Amino acid sequence: MSELSPDPSVFYFDCSEDKMVIGDAAYEAAIAAGTHPLDIQPLRDVLEQPESAVVPEEHQARANVDDWTKQDYISYGRWLAKQVCALPDGTPRITSPILRNAGILGVGPAIKRFEADCRFGSLSEYYAALDMNHLYQRNRFRSWTLADYVQYLEDVSKAEGGLRPTRQVLQAHALEGKGPTMGMITKATGVTLIDLQERIGFPAIHKWSEEDYLDWGVRFMMANNGRPPTARALDALSQRDRGPAAKTIFLKFDSMSNYKELVEARHAEAEAHRQKMETDNKTLVAELIKSGKVPAILHSPEDTERSLTQCAKYLVADALLGHVPTNDLARIAQTPSRRFVQRIQLHNTTITAGEVELTALEMGFYDVIWPMNYDLEHLKVAPKR
């Protein structure tokens, strides 16, 4: 990538020729050669146009970036940020519409190149590489699903030494550009902070019914290879804010043995259901492949869970993007679940994360695509020697 001047005043764009004009001397030469002055505008003004004003079909120029390294992309982003969208205090920033317009006009790479897995995977990761995540990027969380917000809270908890993430902690992280505030999360998902805390293993025990205690016990057994909870394990988890204390169990169920008996019975039912679902899933995948509803490339005979997840993503993507070729749908289906929504939005920018989630839910594939078992890791307790 060639070095570009950091001074935005010397960069113009010739709209009649679809090319940059660098320097005042070049600008004056173009005017002298007959280019109308209104056709040559400051680059900043051209790139800050509304997206509707920059139509891909009207521009043929494309930047030759095939040999660019990731460092070239970073250098380009830092240069571009200085040309446009400076904040009042002079701090440079960048937005997805700017990157889009620049790509269409041939100033830089097409926006899909930044989001390729071999480069940054997403614009958010690109902004992070530019050290600009502390600045506002429009629609930064537009592709986030409930699973993404849950994962974010898990990450915040780890960053805070394994403590329960509070509204104040989330606000502090948001101010540093690390993620959304709780208000933003609730607006996007409708879930409360308590709901999210429970999903990452911080229980709201004061709100529990007897059923909740039993379900927690089943989760404990799932996390500990089928071992039932003991008083020692309960107290260890309670001290970490991960479960009820043994004293609480005694008060609710009269004895630990009563609780263990009920939990073991429910766990046996859950395990039988899991085994049945595994068999049913193998049958479902085989039927989907045989019927031609999904391509055979998505079938991994040695990994039923992966096959089912890919088939589910294919069918959801097909329901939302019926016009997309089979090969493209297959590539979307093979995308990691955390980038599934982004891949769909690359084909149709009007589709929201909520629409993708609702479609998956209506088709019965939500938990297949976004399984959320973050709590299990925190319920593990080493067996007594």
Give the residue-averaged pLDDT of 77-102. 71
Give the residue-averaged pLDDT of 354-383. 91
Give the residue-averaged pLDDT of 73-82. 86
Q: In this predicted structure, which of 124-128, 173-177, 295-299, 329-333 has the lowest mean pLDDT?
A: 173-177
Please give the radius of gyration of the chain, using alpha carbons only, rounded to the nearest integer. 27
Per-residue pLDDT, 291: 92
Q: Percent of the chain having pLDDT more than 70? A: 90
Cα(22)–Cα(43) distance, integer angstroms:
10
Return the residue matching tokens 């920018």. 349
Write out the two tokens for 261.
């008996």
Per-residue pLDDT, 184: 86
**252 to each of 20, 133, 255, 314, how far by Cα in Å?**
74, 47, 8, 46
The amino acid sitting at 23 is: G
pLDDT category of residue 156 using cuts at 50, 70 and 90: very high
Give the residue-averaged pLDDT of 137-162. 86
Cα(122)–Cα(132) distance, integer angstroms:
14
Cα(157)–Cα(348) distance, integer angstroms:
34
Q: CA dihedral defined by 161, 162, 167, 168, rounded to 10 degrees? A: -10
Per-residue pLDDT, 163: 94
Per-residue pLDDT, 241: 95
**In the 8-state DSSP scheme, what is residue 23?**
S
pLDDT category of residue 136 using cuts at 50, 70 and 90: very low
Per-residue pLDDT, 3: 44
Cα(114)–Cα(101) distance, integer angstroms:
14
User: Which uninterrupted H or E stretch holds 226?
Assistant: none
Per-residue pLDDT, 8: 44
Give the residue-averaged pLDDT of 8-18. 74
Per-residue pLDDT, 52: 62
Q: In this predicted structure, which of 133-142, 282-291, 341-350, 351-360 has the lowest mean pLDDT?
A: 133-142
Classified as helix, coil or strand, 335 is coil
The amino acid sitting at 290 is: K
Domain ranges of the chain: 8-129, 146-199, 293-369
Position 87 pLDDT exceeds 60: no
Helices 304-320 and 353-362: crossing angle in degrees, nearest 10, is 120
pLDDT category of residue 7 using cuts at 50, 70 and 90: very low
Per-residue pLDDT, 270: 93
Cα(63)–Cα(169) distance, integer angstroms:
43
Instruction: Summarize pLDDT for 334-366 with one digit per residue, the tens.
Output: 988 888 998 898 888 889 999 999 999 999 999
* Bridge partners, 11 (sequence order): 22
What is the average pLDDT score of the chain? 85
Write out the two tokens for 213.
């205690």
Most confident of 23-37, 69-83, 116-130, 261-275: 261-275
145, 357 contact by CB (below 8 A): yes
Backbone φ and ψ of 11, nearest 5°: -105, 125
Per-residue pLDDT, 212: 95
**58 to each of 21, 45, 104, 223, how far by Cα in Å?**
19, 18, 9, 57
pLDDT greater at residue 337 or residue 139? 337
